Structure 1
Amino acid sequence: MHWRDGYIAVDWGTTNRRAWHVAPDGQIVAQFDDDIGIMAVPPGRFEQAAAEVRTRLGDLPMLLGGMVGSNRGWREAPYASAPAGMETVAKNILWIESGRTGIVPGISQQGISQQGAAGADVMRGEEVQVFGAIAAGLMAPDGLVCHPGTHAKWIRIAQRQITMFRTMMTGELFALLSRHSILAAQLEADVTAGEAFHAGVDEALAGGDVLSGLFRIRARHLLGEEKRSGEGASYASGLLIGCDVRVGLTLGDARHVTLIGRPDLCALYAAAIARAGRETSMVDGAQAFLAGMHQLVETL
């Protein structure tokens, strides 16, 4: 069994799993995705879950990235310390089976930066996408990256290395507000990048009080001051993403931000970043992940 004969790449997150059979030239032979994230795997059953992936995609070497390497995953893969590039990450792959099954380590950041912009932080999975986007020529080797999601990442890149990053719990906060807060009934509508979203973004970018802004969604509903039904979700999203962007942009003075992730979510961030006067480009998250995994495999 040799990596040069093809391999399996797995993006194994908290709630979802995506797997690809990749040919030696990087082309996709087969793939699947399901909802068997790490939280759905009982203790002691990860080996069986990985064997099931091979049953579906072939008896091939397997490289896994994402939360599967966390303390809630198959086995905790120690972080590589920032600043770190592709070579550092490759050297720190945790081998479950030598040369056959490995877990990408992720990257950590400790202490306070010289600029005071970021402190202790960690990432798992986003580093693969960043290095993949650079390797595939989808972004420059220097600049600022935003990775929207449940825990959004802002990442500064210099000479192909991740030098500093910051995590925002934007997506998780919006989900909690939508499901478990007094605002839940006002946050049921789909979020769109329209007038209400832009109003929330502008308020946050100007340094407005996000917490009181959120409660105003309820007050305006009770007092009949909503301009249109369902605007609360877009306004709340704008407030949170606007705050995310305002803080994230402090990580660098780049006029351009590369967005990596789901197209729909990246589009909302692009709209917010545009309100801050910056330009954006978007990179598909799965494409970047596969490019990163292929680059890692080529170092083995």
Structure 2
Amino acid sequence: MSWAEGFIAVDWGTTNRRGYLVEADGRMTDEFEDDRGILAVGEGGFPEALNQISERLGDRPLLLAGMIGSNRGWIEAPYAPCPAGLPELAAGLQWVEPGRVAIVPGVSYLAGNRADVMRGEEVQILGAFGDGLVPADALICHPGTHNKWIRLDDGRIGAFRTVMTGELFNLLREHSILADLLREPARVDAAFERGVAHGLDKDDLSAELFSVRARVLLGQARREEAASYTSGLLIGTDLRIGLGEGGDDDVVVMGRPELTSLFAAALRIAGRGAREVDGEQAFLAGCRHLVELIR
């Protein structure tokens, strides 16, 4: 089958993958999500993993995005340097099987001592622009394991910065002295708001993290508040970095709703407007626009 008759889009990350069946008219009619990320597949297992996707969603051309194209994935797709838009991504596709299986390149940024890379988020960001979900010039916050702050300039990714907020929270929850205090889910409450305000105002993250435990031990804070406060503290620190990327307009917060809601709430505490965009919708839009450029 040709790309014009429909295709399969795969967001293939480090620990998970999500596959979508996209029909010729652009509708998504089937999908799945599992834990077969690149680390679970392992070297040499990708052809079979790809066959499994086709068995589940049908015999269609495949567009693969995310960590599948990294140096830890299947076949490395070199980064497209900033500034990068949809045409640059289409031109940089790494063809595994000519005309049928392609891997989307990531995007890189270099400026002085600043060096950064992304894989997967670029499809969402540029897809959202292509579908009119974000303006041509915008500051975008993309929360996740490695949160991205992206400057969209004239519809292209002009600059971006990564903050390891999600990974740091997970490490604290699983491997730190705070682990037993962080089992509860973080929520937007008074403790979260206090954490955000502290992170925005103070430059003492590593010290304040230990104070989370000390306050509970000394009866100055409730154990039940620890996860929300710590989440707010990390996100507030993240915002202090990301908002330095410039601009006074509303920030577009893009990704999974359970994460975008936390960052949108934190942005409002910081006095900034926030508009949430669903990352899955944006990803599918990006894939559709890329297929239009290659078919």
Are 1:204 and 2:189 matched, yes or no? no
Deviation beyond 2 Å, 4+ runs, structure 1:
none
Correspondence list, 1:1-300, <5 A: 1-112=1-112, 119-226=114-221, 228-300=222-294
In structure 2, what residue type is equivalent to 1:109? Answer: Y
Q: Would the aligned equivalents of 1:186 and 1:230 in 2 still touch at CA under 8 Å?
A: yes
Structure 2 unpaired stretches of 5+: none
**Deviations along 1:184-225, whole A, 9 cap, x unmatched?**
111111111111111111111113411111111111111111
SS in 1 for 2:134: coil
Moved more, 212-221 or 165-174: 212-221
Q: Would the aligned equivalents of 1:143 and 1:254 in 2 still touch at CA under 8 Å?
A: no
**Deviations along 1:95-120, whole A, 9 cap, x unmatched?**
001110000001001233xxxxx810
Q: Would the aligned equivalents of 1:188 and 1:230 in 2 still touch at CA under 8 Å?
A: no
SS in 2 for 1:204: helix
The structural deviation recorded for 1:45 is: 1.1
The structural deviation recorded for 1:236 is: 0.8
Q: Would the aligned equivalents of 2:216 and 2:223 in 1 still touch at CA under 8 Å?
A: no
Partner Cα distance (1:252, 1:125) in 2: 23
In structure 1, what residue type is equivalent to 2:104? Answer: V
In structure 1, what residue type is equivalent to 2:172? Answer: L
Q: Would the aligned equivalents of 1:149 and 1:265 in 2 still touch at CA under 8 Å?
A: yes
**Deviations along 1:11-44, whole A, 9 cap, x unmatched?**
0011111111111111012211111111100211
**Deviations along 1:75-103, whole A, 9 cap, x unmatched?**
11100000111101110000001110000
Partner Cα distance (2:204, 2:35) in 1: 37
Task: Provide TM-score, normalisation by structure 1.
Answer: 0.96
Partner Cα distance (2:140, 2:16) in 1: 23
In structure 1, what residue type is equivalent to 2:251? Answer: V
**Deviations along 1:156-179, whole A, 9 cap, x unmatched?**
001100000000000000000111
Task: Provide TM-score, normalisation by structure 2.
Answer: 0.98
Seq. identity, %: 54
Partner Cα distance (1:291, 1:256) in 2: 22
**Deviations along 1:242-298, whole A, 9 cap, x unmatched?**
010110011121321001111111111011111111101111111100000000000
Partner Cα distance (1:2, 1:217) in 2: 56
Partner Cα distance (1:245, 1:68) in 2: 29
SS in 1 for 2:234: helix
**Aligned-pair RMSD on alpha carbons?**
1.0
Partner Cα distance (1:254, 1:163) in 2: 17
Q: Would the aligned equivalents of 1:109 and 1:164 in 2 still touch at CA under 8 Å?
A: yes
In structure 2, what residue type is equivalent to 1:241? Answer: I
SS in 2 for 1:239: helix
Moved more, 148-157 or 229-238: 229-238
Partner Cα distance (2:201, 2:251) in 1: 20
